[in-house]
Amino acid sequence: MKRVITYGTFDLLHYGHVNLLRRAKEYGDYLIVGLSTDEFNWKSKHKKAYFDYAKRKQLLEAIRYVDLVIPEESWEQKKTDMKKYKIDTFVMGDDWKGKFDYLKDEGVDVVYLPRTPEISTTQIKTDLNEK
Ligand code: C2G
């Protein structure tokens, strides 16, 4: 069984996120999502998600491509996650291109996929504020 992992906040879940998850799943049979906890978001990404971790997790678990959601609590956990979950392929949107190449040393394929250009959580918030 080919195991794939990706990480993110996935706040205000939108079709750009689903496009990423669909394409990530094409690299294997089992897709794990490392979902940023509220604390990790605040402490390490300096952002506050609209939906809390439990709600973001519930939404992701409803997506057919997602097989398991685990908490992302630190930048460092990726290395151990690769072993812990026996990952074959690590996938991220290409806004992260190059940032996680070090994971190749853990024996995983590192794949950066083109983002869906016209949509983002920030854009949604901006558009809604202008309504
Ligand atoms: N994404 C995308 N297209 C968009 C928006 C997002 O392909 N229009 C992808 C991102 O590139 C990322 C994933 O969807 O791979 C999740 O996006 P975010 O929740 O914004 O993830 P981010 O806050 O960048 O956190 O350790 C990695 C971090 O947790 C990633």
How far is residue 6's CA from residue 119's CA, in Å, rounded to a whole number? 19
Atom of ligand 1 nearest to the CA of 19: 7
Global pTM reads 0.97
Catalytic status, residue 99: no
Catalytic status, residue 57: no
Using most ligand atoms within 8 A of CB, pick from 4, 5, 6, 7 the residue to mutate for ligand 1.
7
Q: Which helix (H) or strand (E) holds 91?
A: strand 89-93
Q: How large is the ipTM? A: 0.98
pLDDT (tens digit, 9 = 90+) per residue, 33-89?
Answer: 999 999 999 999 999 999 999 999 999 999 999 999 999 999 999 999 999 999 999
pLDDT of 90 strictly over 90: yes
